[in-house]
């Protein structure tokens, strides 16, 4: 029987049919030598076993096939409550906690628990922002709750609506989970290796990237040509920085006035991120985000 908990650096972690593309892409980049945080993956089979142990298969099947809205909503609610209200079965929880303790001891950091659905990050169905990620996890109880919450996210209304528009039955898919240490970043953001007009674009803000994901700041925007030449720098408005309450008091802090409109990234950092994006693009064989 295959292990349900697999190190991110392991070759089998690259299997998107077991761990979802979010985790498998990170595993592929890590194995290629790119600077990916350490971590481990929980096989989507664990989700399936939990569903079976709780007797929820019938509720799952009733959501997509229901002929009326109330029946579908009751089925989705049964799935969410079942996954959230019951502990993870011991044969899953014990190796999962063992891996989490080892990662926490090794990284000496809080952890992040990230959904990695088998249906997300695919052409035509990115599922961006549809599922859940939890940052700054410190205790074992919170960790296991975060895993169950990632499982339950497959049955959230927004995700079900997204799947319905693409004729995806949630009962035919499953949720894997990716666990990594929290990087207490001074600056965070994202990047596109190729836009519609052929440019490379970076975005950045002070602190953790959650403030961008939640629309709380206007991040800096850096536009580069395919040759790495900086075409445009548009400083955003970054009045506060997201952090972690366990690592220095408040989860957010005000940014000093001179830094609100100051660019977050120096020229050398822009160049380094450009090279990493292009390397990831070459490894994946397509434009990447």
The CA dihedral of 270, 37, 288, 283, to the nearest 10 degrees, is 100
pLDDT 10s digit of each residue in the chain, 289 long? Answer: 579 999 999 999 999 999 999 999 999 999 999 999 999 999 999 999 999 999 999 999 989 876 668 888 899 999 999 999 999 999 999 999 999 999 999 999 999 999 999 988 766 656 766 788 898 999 999 999 999 999 999 999 889 988 888 888 999 999 999 999 999 889 999 999 999 999 999 999 999 888 888 788 999 999 999 999 999 999 999 887 887 544 443 467 888 888 989 999 999 999 999 999 999 999 999 999 9
Residues near 145 by beta carbon (within 8 Å), at least 6 away in sequence: none
Distance of CA 255 to the CA centre of its chain: 26
Residue 5 token pair: 């908990």
From residue 5, alpha-carbon distances to 92, 97, 178, 189, 232 in Å are: 9, 10, 10, 29, 44
- The reported pTM is 0.90
The CA dihedral of 202, 203, 207, 210, to the nearest 10 degrees, is -120
Buried-exposed string 35-64: b where 16+ CB fall within 10 A, e elsewhere: ebbebbbbbbbbbebbbeebebeebbebbb
Residue 287 token pair: 């434009």
């Amino acid at each position: 029987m295959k292990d349900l908990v697999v190190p991110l650096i392991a070759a089998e972690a690259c299997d998107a049919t077991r761990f979802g593309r979010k985790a498998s892409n990170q595993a592929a980049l890590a194995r290629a030598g790119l600077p990916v945080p350490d971590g481990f993956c929980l096989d989507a089979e664990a989700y399936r076993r939990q569903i079976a142990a709780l007797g929820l298969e019938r509720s799952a099947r009733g959501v997509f096939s229901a002929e009326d809205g109330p029946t579908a909503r009751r089925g989705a609610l049964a799935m969410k409550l079942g996954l959230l209200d019951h502990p993870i079965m011991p044969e899953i929880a014990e190796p999962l906690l063992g891996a989490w303790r080892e990662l926490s001891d090794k990284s000496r950091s809080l952890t992040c628990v990230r959904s990695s659905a088998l249906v997300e990050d695919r052409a035509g169905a990115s599922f961006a922002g549809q599922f859940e990620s939890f940052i700054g996890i410190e205790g074992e109880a919170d960790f296991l709750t975060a895993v169950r919450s990632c499982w339950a996210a497959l049955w959230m209304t927004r995700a079900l609506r997204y799947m319905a528009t693409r004729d995806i039955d949630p009962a035919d898919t499953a949720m894997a989970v990716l666990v990594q240490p929290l990087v207490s970043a001074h600056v965070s953001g994202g990047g596109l290796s190729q836009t519609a007009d052929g440019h490379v674009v970076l975005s950045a803000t002070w602190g953790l990237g959650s403030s961008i994901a939640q629309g709380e700041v206007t991040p800096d925007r850096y536009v580069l040509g395919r040759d790495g030449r900086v075409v445009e720098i548009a400083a955003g408005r970054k009045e506060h920085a997201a952090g972690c309450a366990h690592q220095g008091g408040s989860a957010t802090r005000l940014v000093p006035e001179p830094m609100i409109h100051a660019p977050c990234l120096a020229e050398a950092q822009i160049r380094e991120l450009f090279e990493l994006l292009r390397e990831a693009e070459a490894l994946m064989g397509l434009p990447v985000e």
